[in-house]
């Protein structure tokens, strides 16, 4: 006849309880540490919406933020800057545009060129996906938006009346204010047809 199984040592049950308690507590602590911070109250968070028919493009001209972008400490500043930037294009207001961009960008795009480049452009469905720091006086904003324009004014690589854009806009601190800086050749925009 086999011997009856031995009873577990008395210390095993308390050790198991302590180990399980530590694991549960650690999991709860990790969840709190990695939770995204609450968005700032003035941030406009993007709402998921179905794709718009071509007749409703480019969509609203309001700059919205993803929760990730809204969690950045400069979210309100970046949102306000980009709102001015896109409003200036949509309203063909070169003087307003100059307040949103660096001096270098203004010098690279005189008024006559700027008015010609944006004469039929209308931007909308503007969404800031991310805001990343580069240095203390440089940020990068990953932005998506839709533009409508005459085909002759469309980007050469995608001559369409409606284009979805996704690009990184460099932002620079100039004279104490954030401005949209000159886009370098190291960033290539993603373009797709509406």
Q: How many domains does the chain have?
A: 1
Determine, yes or no, domain membership for 16: no
- pLDDT value of position 136: 93
Residue 149 confidence (pLDDT) above 70? yes
Which tokens go with 160?
Answer: 């369409």
Determine, yes or no, domain membership for 156: yes
Residue 79 belongs to domain with CATH number: 3.10.450.50
pLDDT-based confidence at residue 54 (cuts at 50, 70, 90): confident
H or E element that contains 82: helix 75-90
Determine, yes or no, domain membership for 9: no
Determine, yes or no, domain membership for 144: yes
- Portion of the chain with pLDDT greater than 90, in percent: 67
Cα separation, 92 vs 83, in Å, equals 14
- Portion of the chain with pLDDT greater than 70, in percent: 73
Determine, yes or no, domain membership for 1: no
Determine, yes or no, domain membership for 2: no
Determine, yes or no, domain membership for 31: no
- Residue 129 burial (C-beta neighbours within 10 Å; 0-12, 13-18, 19+): middle
Residue 147 confidence (pLDDT) above 70? yes
Please, what is the average pLDDT of the chain? 84
- At a CB cut-off of 8 Å and minimum separation 6, what does 154 contact? 160, 161, 163
pLDDT-based confidence at residue 50 (cuts at 50, 70, 90): low
Determine, yes or no, domain membership for 165: yes
> 79-122, pLDDT tens digit by residue?
999 999 999 999 999 999 999 999 999 999 999 999 999 999 99
Q: Which structural domain, as residue segments, surrounds residue 186?
A: 54-193
User: In 95-137, which ranges are E strands?
Assistant: 122-135
């Amino acid at each position: 006849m086999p011997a009856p199984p031995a009873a577990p040592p008395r210390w095993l049950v308390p050790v198991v309880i302590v180990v399980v308690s530590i694991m549960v507590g650690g999991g709860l602590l990790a969840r709190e540490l990695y939770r995204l911070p609450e968005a700032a109250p003035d941030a406009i968070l993007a709402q998921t919406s179905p794709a718009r028919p071509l007749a409703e493009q480019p969509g609203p001209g309001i700059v919205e933020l993803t929760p990730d972008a809204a969690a950045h400490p400069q979210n309100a500043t970046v949102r306000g800057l980009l709102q001015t930037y896109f409003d200036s294009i949509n309203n063909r207001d070169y003087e307003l545009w100059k307040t949103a961009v660096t001096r270098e960008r203004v010098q690279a795009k005189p008024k006559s060129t700027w008015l010609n480049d944006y004469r039929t452009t209308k931007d909308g469905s503007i969404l800031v996906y991310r805001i990343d720091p580069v240095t203390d006086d440089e940020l990068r904003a990953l932005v998506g938006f839709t533009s409508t324009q005459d085909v002759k004014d469309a980007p050469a690589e995608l001559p369409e009346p409606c284009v979805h854009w996704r690009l990184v806009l460099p932002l620079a601190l100039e004279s104490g204010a954030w401005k949209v800086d000159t886009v370098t050749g190291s960033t290539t925009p993603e373009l797709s047809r509406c």
